[in-house]
Amino acid sequence: MSAGAPHWPGVEAAIREGRAPDAGVIAELTDGVVALGSRGAAVEGERMRERVLGFGPLEQWVGAPEVTDVLVNGDGSVWVDRGGGVEATGQVLMASDARALATRLAGLARRRLDEAQPWVDAVLPGGVRLHAILPPLAERGTHLSLRVARRQPVGVAGLRTLGSVGGEMASVLSRVLSAQLSFLVVGGTGAGKTTVLGALLADCAHDQRIVVAEDVRELEPSHPHVVRLQGRSANVEGAGAVSLVDLVRQALRMRPDRLVVGEVRGAEVRELLAALNTGHDGGAGTLHANGLARTPARIEALGALAGLDRDAVHAQLRGAVDVVVEVARVGGRRVVRAVGVTSWTGSEVVIEEAFALEGGVSAGAGGAEDAWANGVRRRPAAGRLEELLRERGA
C-alpha cells in the first residue's frame, strides 16, 4: 500500500481470507472518509453497495416494484417485464460489464461462472433467481436472466385481491384444498404457476406437513410447517449432483402430508406419480404445458425420460392427479384461466374443463371481481368435479 493511503484492516482481512465484501466492509470503506463528509460518505457507500453487493447497472430495474424479470441479451441490451410482457429499456451494457456482473452475482450465490462452468442457475441472497450463460454457448456475449421475487399473495383470498381468481372458481379452489385432492398448476413461461401454487399451499391446514422439492428455491408458501429440499449441480469434477429424482425419493421418507414438486420437468415425474398413487393425497406441483388438454401429452413425454411407456404413464396419471389448474396471462393480468378434472377415455387420461374464464378481466379490484363473477362458466365436467369434492367431504 502506498504511503499516505488509507488503511482498512477489515478490507485487507477479507481479501486475505478470500471472503466476498459485505455491508460491514463497505461501511468501513466509507466511514471516516472526512473529505466526503457524512452525506457524501452515505452516497458513496450506496453506490459501492450497488456495485459490490447489489446489481450494479441493473439496480434500478431489480428495485422497481412492478418489474418481475430483468434480462440482458448477448448484445448487451437490457429488457424487463413489468407484468405485461417483455419490453426494451434502451439501456445497453458493455460486454465486459455484463460478464463481470454475471460472474460477481454467481459468486454471491457461492457458485462458479467461467470457461470450465459456463452457466449458472441459482438463488441470490434476497431471493432473486439468477441464470447466466457465457459465450460461445450463448450467442454474441453473456446472457443474464434475473427473476425478481415479489411479495407473494397468501391463500385464495390473496389471489382474489390481485384479481387472479374470482367468482365460483375461487370457491372451487378452496374446496380442492379442503378435500386434499392432488393437483397440478400448468401454464406457459411467466404465466404465474409458482405464484398460484404458493398461494394455494398457504391455505392448507396448519396441522399438515408440506415437503417441497425444487431444483432452485422459488416457492415461499406462508405456512407454519414447510420443509424445503433443494437440488444441487455437479461440481467441476462432475460429482456431487443432487437431482429432483433424488429429492422426491428423500421427501417420501420424511412423512409428508403433502408432497410438492416445485416444477415437474424430468424423470422425477415417475416418483411423483408413484407417490400420489400410494396414499400421499394432496400432492401438488407445477408443469409447463400450454393448456389443460395438452397436459397428459406433456406428462407422457416426461414419463418417457424415466423409462415409462405410454400406457404406464396414463395408468399412473389416472390415480395420481385429480385436478389441473391452468394459469395464463389475460389482458396483462396473470389469472387462473380454468380448472379441470381428470377423466378416463378408453386407454388414456384426458383433462376436461370444469370451470373456465371467458373473456378478459377488467382493471381495478371492483371491476375485476365483477368480470370474474360474470365471466366464469361451468363446463360439462363441473358435475364430475362436484361429485369428487363431495366424496372427499368438501
Let me know if residue 284 belongs to a domain.
yes
Which pLDDT value is given to residue 14? Answer: 47
Q: Are residues 262 and 313 in the same domain?
A: yes
Structure-model confidence comparison of residues 2 and 171, the more confident one: 171
CATH code for position 309: 3.40.50.300
Q: Which residues, at least 6 apart from 17, have a Cβ–Cβ distance to it below 8 Å?
A: none
Q: Are residues 124 and 229 in the same domain?
A: no
Q: Are residues 64 and 40 in the same domain?
A: no
Residue 162 is placed in which grid cell?
390481485
Let me know if residue 1 belongs to a domain.
no
Quote the domain boundaries for residue 384: 155-391
| From 158-167, 241-250, 357-366, the region with the lowest mean pLDDT | 357-366
Q: Are residues 173 and 322 in the same domain?
A: yes
List, in sequence order, the alpha helices (H) in the chain: 9-16, 23-30, 37-52, 59-62, 95-108, 155-162, 167-178, 193-202, 244-251, 268-276, 295-305, 310-320, 365-375, 382-391
Q: Which residue, 109, 124, 147, sits at the end of a domain?
A: 147
Which pLDDT value is given to residue 7? Answer: 42
In this model, does residue 250 exceed pLDDT 80? yes
Q: Are residues 107 and 233 in the same domain?
A: no
Q: Are residues 140 and 193 in the same domain?
A: no
Q: Which residue, 103, 125, 147, sits at the end of a domain?
A: 147
In this model, does residue 46 exceed pLDDT 70? no
Which pLDDT value is given to residue 22? Answer: 55
Q: Are residues 84 and 219 in the same domain?
A: no
Which pLDDT value is given to residue 238? Answer: 74
Would the pTM count as exceeding 0.85? Answer: no
Let me know if residue 4 belongs to a domain.
no
Please compute the mean of the pLDDT values over residues 249-269 and round it to a whole number: 90
Q: Are residues 126 and 215 in the same domain?
A: no
Let me know if residue 283 belongs to a domain.
yes
In this model, does residue 334 exceed pLDDT 80? yes
Which pLDDT value is given to residue 31? Answer: 54
How many distinct structural domains can be found in the chain? 3
Please compute the mean of the pLDDT values over residues 313-332 and round it to a whole number: 90
Q: Are residues 184 and 246 in the same domain?
A: yes
Please compute the mean of the pLDDT values over residues 302-328 and round it to a whole number: 92
Confidence class for position 279, pLDDT limits 50, 70, 90:
confident
> Which of the given ranges, 147-161, 192-206, 273-287, has the highest pLDDT on average?
192-206
**118 near 137, Cβ under 8 Å?**
yes
Q: Are residues 81 and 69 in the same domain?
A: yes
> Which of the given ranges, 152-156, 232-236, 343-347, 374-378, has the highest pLDDT on average?
343-347
Q: Which residues, at least 6 apart from 235, have a Cβ–Cβ distance to it below 8 Å?
A: none
Average per-residue pLDDT in the chain? 83
Which pLDDT value is given to residue 254? Answer: 94
Percent of the chain scoring above 70 in pLDDT: 82
**86 near 60, Cβ under 8 Å?**
no
Confidence class for position 220, pLDDT limits 50, 70, 90:
confident
In this model, does residue 28 exceed pLDDT 60? no
Alpha-carbon Rg for the chain, nearest whole angstrom, is: 24
Q: Which residue, 147, 168, 202, sits at the end of a domain?
A: 147
**57 near 96, Cβ under 8 Å?**
no
